[in-house]
Amino acid sequence: MLKTILWRIFDAIPTLILVLTLVFVALRILPGDTALAVLGEHASAEQLANFRQKTGLDQPIWKQYIDFLINSAQFNFGNSLSTNFSVAQLVKLNLPYTIELTIAATIIGTVIAIPIGVASAVHKGEWIDNSSRFFSLLGYAIPDFFLGAVLLIVFALNLGWFPISGGGEGFADKLWHLALPALALGLIKAAFTCRLTRSSLLEVNTKDYVRTARAKGASESRVIYRHALRNALLPIVTGLALAILSTLSGSVAIELIFSRPGVGSMLVGAIESRDYPVVQAGIVVFALFVVLVNLVMDILYSLIDPRVGHTS
């Protein structure tokens, strides 16, 4: 297990370097002058020159790149160009809101999807199966930001049951602010996981060991949950990993719609103002999330089926 974890971490290093390189290049090929975007059109030539010198934008591009990689490895992103506030503090303030939203949406999606997917597979061709497939079809067709906007208009603006914006203060208030954004993301991701659970369980149901368990007189619930579902978990776990990463990317739009603090809304604001340090820090955080989710899923694979750890 330890060997697998260390290998996955080592394997992620080239991916992180590639992501950092793409971010560095993308930000610097954008048209326009960063110093002018931050200081405004009325800034003097001397002010612009001082700003470039202070932020290192006057350095050769290769030196900026090397400094960027070194600072990223040390999680040192300097100060925001727009506010001169510590980028590390900005991430520290916004990251918990994004983590809360991602975890809550994943829990909602999983709690809804797996039972419906199991029921759909067990009652194939019946009304619950048809309803499940219709739910999945809607989930594939409706973007999460559209569903978020509908929930906001209906339950926050019109009915007033939930707050319109903000992240809340205190545990209960945070849950109240989190409900609609998490529900919007969770319902969309549940459609994918539900369909995956159904197809995976239907495939496992045809295996010999499932038929043998039924022939031995095991109860249907024991056959489904002890034998079939357990062996269908690997593709489901893979689907959950994809759903978590999709939820993380979808949180950007949801944070903007519900005016929630978070890394996504911080990142969009930084892109608009061409605030290099904040954008770079936000992308690094998202890249680390991807690596962490993949690492956790690899560990789950090994726990569900030890043969995966031996063959990796």
- Is residue 54 in a domain? no
Helix-strand-coil split of the chain, %, nearest 5: 80, 0, 20
Residue 135 belongs to domain with CATH number: 1.10.3720.10
Is 39 a domain residue? Answer: no
- Is residue 75, in this structure, part of any structural domain at all? no
* Signed CA dihedral, 207, 209, 212, 213: sign only: negative
Q: pLDDT of the chain along its 312 residues, tens only?
A: 666 667 777 777 787 788 788 877 877 776 666 676 666 677 777 777 777 777 677 778 788 788 878 877 777 777 787 777 888 888 888 888 888 888 888 888 888 888 888 888 777 777 887 887 887 787 777 777 888 888 888 888 888 888 887 777 777 878 888 888 888 888 888 888 888 888 887 777 777 776 776 677 766 667 776 667 667 777 777 777 777 777 777 778 888 888 888 888 888 878 777 777 888 788 888 877 777 777 777 777 666 655 555 544
Residue 229 structural domain: 89-311
Is residue 8 in some structural domain?
A: no
- Give the pLDDT score at 312: 47
User: Structure tokens of 211?
Assistant: 């038929």
Structural domain contains residue 67? no
Asked, for residue 233, whether it belongs to a domain, the answer is yes
Instruction: Name the CA dihedral angle for 196, 202, 208, 214, rounded to a multiple of 10 degrees.
Output: 120
Tell me how far apart the alpha carbons of residues 13 and 276 are, in angstroms, rounded to a whole number: 22
> Residue 51 domain-assigned?
no
Check if the beta carbon of residue 74 is closer than 8 Å to that of residue 20: no
Q: What is the pTM of this model?
A: 0.73
Say which residues have a Cβ less than 8 Å from residue 279's Cβ, sequence separation at least 6.
23, 27, 267, 270, 271
Q: Structural domain tally of the chain?
A: 1
Any domain includes 4: no
